[in-house]
Amino acid sequence: MNSKKLKMMPVSSKYMKQYNDLLRYVFQVTDQELNSIGWQEKEMIRAKFPTMEKADVIGWFDEDTLVSQVAVYPMQVQIFGKTYDMGGLTGVGTYPEYSNMGLMHKLLEQALKDMRKKGQYISYLYPYSIPYYRRKGWELISDKISYEIKDYQLPKNRQVSGTVRRVEAESAEIKETYARYAAHTHGAVIRDELAWNEYWLWDRDDITAAIYYNEDGEPDGYLIYWIENEVFYIKDMIFNNEEARTGLWNFVSAHFSMIDRVEGSTYTDEPLAFLLEDANIKESISPYYMGRIVDFPSFVAHYPFKPGESDREWLFSMTDPIMECNQGTFLLKISKEGKGEAVKVSQMCSDTISIQTMTTMLMGYKRPNYLSKIGRIQAGKDKIDMLEDAIEQQIPYISDYF
């Protein structure tokens, strides 16, 4: 295959069918799988169309045939109370006969440059190959905890001041509840129409929801679920406080006579077992989303470090496999108020870190002490202690899928 004949350019909506055909081929999405959730290809294209209209899609073309592609969704996320514009990377694929030509590397490089221009200084993606995306500068930033609870292990009913009501899964009340939750939840995607469309895209028709309202009638949490073959499946449960959590589990336990077990997922760093009287449940933790700092100096300028008694500094060298703006020696300055600034300098230094490690550290997924222990940061103990004191302790919550 002659790569000189290929051309990289934006993918307009007229190539929507080719975009979906490429994804279906690469990820082996069959007609049977689509039919199992009630989809036909035309419906999938119609559902994706409004999302793709808002996305930045670029691809390689062989004449008029799309052969390799990436899409970037314009999104926003909360990082320790600060709102960041985020580039959600998705739709990544190349036909096998065009592989090993460096097409995807160049697409990712262009996508990251475009994100930087648009002020999207952080990028999220759901990885189909963790090693591949690590080589491109992304790193793990969140987990998914799957659990199975037998009917006799469900928590006993406890009195709460609020009430739970079932609602339509795609109701405005669900969006309002999530917005209240995401406003103070580290790592959460702030869902606009595009993000909600992706959240619901592959769900069943019979999925439903229940909202916990506090005594003032405000939505403080929700449960999204379906019941099939005597199994209560939980897609997602969020809550702003312990009372909302209790109220939602009261609702689940009220189905005791209808089900044999509950299966679900949670996206926090808190295993469920400890909260149950019978803690002998099945739980499994798996990596979920990856993140990548797109422009380190700009990301740090917005980043809320913890205040300290005095100003702090760290001189280090950083590597990045793609973005030149993240390569070289930096002097990181953190004021006692928690304001950060990263400046490139020409000094020599012995401290080193990669953009992958910097991302997972600043996102709170892994702590500086641990990263130093496993050799992902080369720095003295005083600098590691400084980073421990300067970075908030909270693992990102990400329950989206795009």
Domains within the chain, CATH numbers bracketed: 3-72+88-114 (3.40.630.30), 145-287 (3.40.630.30), 293-390 (3.30.1050.10)
Q: Residue holding tokens 């659990």?
A: 147
Q: Name which of 75, 94, 95, 102 is nearest 86 in CA terms.
A: 75
Supply the pLDDT for residue 46: 52
Q: So what's the pLDDT on residue 35?
A: 52
For residue 44, which phi and psi values (nearest 5 degrees)?
Answer: -65, -45
Give the number of other Cβ atoms within 10 Å of residue 171's Cβ: 13
Measured CA distances, 14 to 24, 53, 73, 74, 247 (Å) = 17, 10, 18, 20, 48
pLDDT, position 34: 47
Strand 312-319 relative to strand 352-354, pairing: parallel
Contact 111, 70 (CB under 8 A): yes
Mark out the alpha helices in 123-187 (DSSP H runs): 130-135, 172-182
Task: Return the pLDDT at 37.
Answer: 47
Q: Which residues of the chain have pLDDT under 50?
A: 34, 37, 39, 44-45
> Cα(194)–Cα(57) distance, rounded to whole angstroms?
15
Question: What confidence score (pLDDT) does residue 24 get?
Answer: 81
Residue 353 and residue 29: Cα distance in Å, rounded?
39
Whole-model pTM: value is 0.91
CA–CA distance, 159 with 156 (Å, rounded to integer): 10
d(CA 298, CA 164): 43
With a CB cutoff of 8 Å and minimum separation 6, the contacts of 75 are 85, 86, 87, 88, 124, 189, 190, 192, 194, 195
Distance CA 222, CA 175 (A): 10
β-sheet with 352-354: strand ranges across: 340-345, 328-334, 312-319, 352-354
pLDDT confidence of residue 129:
92
In which element (H, E) is residue 32 found?
helix 31-36
Dist CA 50 CA 16 (whole Å): 11
Distances (CA, A) of 193 to 170, 221, 344: 11, 20, 38
